[in-house]
Amino acid sequence: MKDITINPGVGAPPGRGASQTAKAHSGRKAVIAASAGNALEWYDFTVYALFAVYIGQNFFHNADPTVQLMASFLAFGLGFVVRPLGALILGSYGDRAGRKAALTLTIMLMALGTLLIAAAPPYAAIGVGAPLLIVCGRVLQGFSAGGEVGGATAFLVEHAPEGKRGQYASWLQASMGISNLLGALVATLVTTLLTEQQVGEWGWRVPFIIGLAIAPVGLWMRRALDETPHFREEQARQALQGDRVKEPLLSVLRDYPRELLTGLCISVLWAVGPYALIIFMPIYVQKSMGFSSSQAFLAALVGNLFLIGGCVFSGTLSDRYGRRNVLRAAALLLLLASYPLMMWLKASHTQGALIVVQSLFCLMVAMYVGVAPAALSEVFPTSVRSSGMSLSYNTAVTVLGGFAPAILTWITYTTGVAFAPALYVMGACVVALVALTLLPQGRHV
């Protein structure tokens, strides 16, 4: 595949400089648009996790608050059950119809799911229909997110100039950090400006309404994007040679089983790290360590600044030192530091300690997830890249990531095991370190 460059060479022929400038502009536009749209989608995911306690109180009828919370997280996890289906359908659609078409469809589905959650009447008003609406909203969000990672990563990697694929792809996870930051900011404002009763009755809906208000902006940006040069070249090649891949999903399952297995194992820590140490942590420190909601959300707000910067930094490092080396270092850090940090937080129990620990968790997770998209994209060729990435990542997320909050809540309150999130991540680190030995060195780029 021909590499795309954005730097005009010395002595370039007339008109080449303008062409390269246009490519540079197209690349920057791709990063901004894809990252903004991805952030808007994951914002809706984030605020559900942050307000899971209030959703449980409103939609899942039970006198035990712990059971309410577990039911709320189970609904959160159900959205992940359909992620592989979304990965199969939307990933294949992206390989056939183009990256831009798939990205536009995913944000429309996410907005519809968010609308259902924001407008759903509580259990007291319509009974069992209330939790069913929440589940339907989560299913739509999960289906949409199933195709997001593969499509967005393929879009960024295929727009990237030579030597900057890691940096470009890192914005996928950085944009998730932006969504976490936005969600934490909104959560902090809502819980600070409103009373606990107001938040419980109606204030929890405000973040979802905000998500609806900004969704059209992302949709507009997605529609304004250009298709990737690599996809256009691949389509032209297939048309010229008469070997068009009509069923990318079947092709990736039949022709790339080892790549799928490698991608799945690499994705385990990519899936587990953010959900256990970033999304679930604000709930965990409230329920298990006695921190207030405002303290937990403030720490999440600060920590996600490190997540954003760490993703771009690690992606840039991977362009220079290799994906495998950076991923291995990040996995080792998480394996060795997660449990001691939680022990220190439990012993200190101060707002400052919580901010430090949450920031370190975000930074360490960023060092892995900032590189993982580019590494996974290089496992698969252009013709099946969206399908292969979507299937690998979403299988890992469905099995180990989406239900992580529910699993960790159950472990914490029924077994009494201390620091369950840290142990969960440590297990994922072992799987990742083994899988990294099989990671190809950028074969399909």
Percent of the chain with pLDDT over 90: 23
Burial zone of 18 (CB within 10 Å; 0-12 exposed, 13-18 middle, 19+ buried): exposed
Q: Which helix (H) or strand (E) holds 372?
A: helix 372-377
Number of domains within the chain: 1
Question: For residue range 50-90, what is the model confidence (pLDDT) as tens digits?
Answer: 788 888 888 887 767 777 777 787 787 777 778 778 877 88
At 11 the pLDDT is 40
Residue 1 resides in a domain: no
| 7 within domain boundaries | no
CATH number for the domain including 302? 1.20.1250.20
Percent of the chain with pLDDT over 70: 83
Cα gap 434→362, rounded to integer Å: 23
Return the pLDDT at 257.
82
241 within some domain: yes
Question: At residue 350, what are phi and psi to the nearest 5 degrees?
Answer: -125, 160
Residue 381 has pLDDT above 90, yes or no: no
Q: Which two tokens stand for residue 241?
A: 């040679």
Question: Nearest-CA neighbor of 334 among 296, 285, 367, 303?
Answer: 367
pLDDT of residue 414: 75
Q: Decide if 18 is inside a domain.
A: no
Average pLDDT on 201-209 reads 91
**Residue 441 buriedness (CB in 10 A; 0-12 / 13-18 / 19+):** exposed
Mean pLDDT of 362-373: 94
What is the domain range of residue 234? 26-438
Give the model's confidence band at 232: pLDDT under 50 very low, under 70 low, under 90 confident, else very high.
low
Residue 349 dihedral angles phi and psi, to the nearest 5°: 50, 55
Residue 162 DSSP label: T
Predicted confidence at residue 70, as pLDDT, reads: 76
Q: Is residue 9 included in any domain, yes or no?
A: no
d(CA 7, CA 338): 42
Which of 30-44, 153-167, 280-294 has the largest mean confidence?
Answer: 280-294
Angle, CA 43 vertex, CA 197 and CA 178 arms, to 5°: 115
Distance of alpha carbon 268 from alpha carbon 428, whole angstroms: 6
- What pLDDT was estimated at residue 3? 36
Q: Which pLDDT does position 22 carry in this prediction?
A: 52
In a domain, 20, yes or no: no
In whole angstroms, give the CA distance from residue 53 to residue 325: 39
- pLDDT of amino acid 4: 34
Is residue 367 domain-resident? yes
Asked if the structure places residue 15 within a domain, the reply is no
Would you state the pLDDT for residue 233?
65
Cα dist. 286→70, 273, 409 in Å?
15, 19, 12
- The confidence score (pLDDT) of residue 13 equals 45
CA distance 141 to 127: 23
pLDDT at 287: 82
Provide the pLDDT confidence category of residue 298 given band limits of 50, 70 and 90: confident
Which residues fall within 8 angstroms of residue 230, CB to CB, at 6 or more apart? Answer: 1, 4, 157, 158, 382
| Distances, alpha carbon 361 to alpha carbons 119, 288, 290, 323, 354, in Å | 34, 18, 19, 20, 11
What is the spatial distance between Cα 100 and Cα 225, in angstroms, rounded to a whole number?
A: 7
Q: What is the pLDDT of residue 12?
A: 41
The mean pLDDT of 264-284, rounded to a whole number, is 89
How many other β-carbons are positioned within 10 Å of the β-carbon of residue 364? 27
pLDDT in tens, 391-430: 888 888 877 876 777 788 777 777 777 788 899 999 999 9
Highest mean pLDDT among 122-126, 179-183, 314-318: 314-318
Which is more confidently placed, 261 or 22? 261
Q: Which residues have a Cβ under 8 Å from the Cβ of 326 and sit 6 or more positions away?
A: 314, 317, 318, 367, 371
Conformational region of residue 292, where left means phi above 0, alpha means psi within -120 to 50, and beta covers everything else: beta
List of E strands, 54-158: none
pLDDT at 443: 44
Write the burial class of residue 193 (CB in 10 Å: 0-12 exposed, 13-18 middle, 19+ buried): exposed
Confidence label for 330 from pLDDT (cuts 50, 70 and 90):
very high
Q: How far apart are the first and last CA of the chain?
A: 7
The pLDDT value recorded for residue 336 is 96
